[in-house]
């Protein structure tokens, strides 16, 4: 029993010396760490008008085909009951699909959606051609293919097309 206790204490005493000393990359600047760990900040532009609608930049997305098809099982085309929302700071967005009802709705509201700076979520899209048809119905508006099940659950909606703003949910 004494041999085990002595061996245990020896191991505990020698353990700190068995590990090599750790070096934190930020402690010793070098060409390697400087290039990888520099913090860059975007330039401050004081000319941005907060009341001006902001538009999403889709130029960085070169190929969305890998995200398709998109289908949202909790949403279907149909009529919704308009209701008030209290979500301060929420930017307007809308949900559409690739069926004729959504495309008609989108064409009718395109100018209004563009003016308010609304972004679009295509929650039912079969392929790239269908996504192109949706985007052609509302030129100049950012529309991305996404699954809408989480939004449907959170906002307790079952149908689309729908416009969601900070103060209302409407069709």
pLDDT for the residue numbered 68 = 87
- Rounded to the nearest 10 degrees, what angle do helices 128-137 and 100-116 cross at? 50
Question: The domain spanning residue 134 has which CATH number?
Answer: 3.40.30
- Among 84, 88, 108, 85, smallest CA distance to 96 is for 108
Which residue's entry shows tokens 């760990």? Answer: 37
Whether 15 maps to a domain, the answer reads no
Instruction: Compute CA 59 distance to the chain's CA centroid, rounded to the nearest angstrom.
Output: 15
Domain count, the chain: 1
Above 80 in pLDDT, residue 35? no
Whether 34 maps to a domain, the answer reads no
pLDDT tens readout for residues 7-27: 666 666 666 666 555 555 555
Give the domain range for residue 119.
65-170
* DSSP code at position 145: E
Alpha-carbon distance of 94 to 123, in angstroms, equals: 10
Contacts of 167 (CB under 8 A, 6+ apart): 84, 85, 86, 87
Above 70 in pLDDT, residue 142? yes
pLDDT for the residue numbered 66 = 80
Whether 82 maps to a domain, the answer reads yes
From the number of C-beta atoms within 10 Å of its C-beta (0-12, 13-18, 19+), residue 37 rates as exposed
Whether 24 maps to a domain, the answer reads no
pLDDT tens readout for residues 41-79: 555 555 555 555 555 555 455 567 788 899 999 999 999
Whether 27 maps to a domain, the answer reads no
pLDDT for the residue numbered 8 = 62
Whether 50 maps to a domain, the answer reads no
Whether 54 maps to a domain, the answer reads no
Count CB neighbours of 131 within 10 A: 22
pTM: 0.64
pLDDT for the residue numbered 52 = 57
Confidence of residue 169 (pLDDT cuts 50, 70, 90): very high
């Amino acid at each position: 029993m004494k041999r085990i206790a002595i061996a245990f204490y020896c191991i505990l005493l020698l353990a700190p010396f068995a590990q090599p000393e750790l070096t934190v990359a930020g402690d010793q600047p070098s060409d390697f760490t400087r290039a990888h760990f520099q913090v860059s900040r975007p330039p401050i532009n004081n000319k941005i008008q907060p009341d001006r609608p902001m538009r999403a930049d889709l130029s960085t997305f070169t190929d969305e085909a890998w995200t398709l098809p998109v289908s949202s099982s909790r949403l279907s085309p149909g009529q919704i009951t308009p209701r008030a929302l209290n979500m301060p700071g929420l930017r307007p967005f809308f949900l559409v699909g690739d069926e004729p009802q959504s495309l008609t709705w989108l064409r009718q509201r395109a100018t209004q959606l563009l003016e308010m700076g609304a972004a679009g979520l295509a929650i039912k899209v079969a392929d790239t051609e269908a996504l192109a048809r949706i985007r052609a119905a509302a030129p100049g508006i950012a529309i991305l293919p996404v699954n809408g099940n989480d939004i449907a659950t959170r906002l307790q909606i079952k149908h689309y097309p729908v416009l969601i703003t900070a103060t209302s949910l409407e069709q």
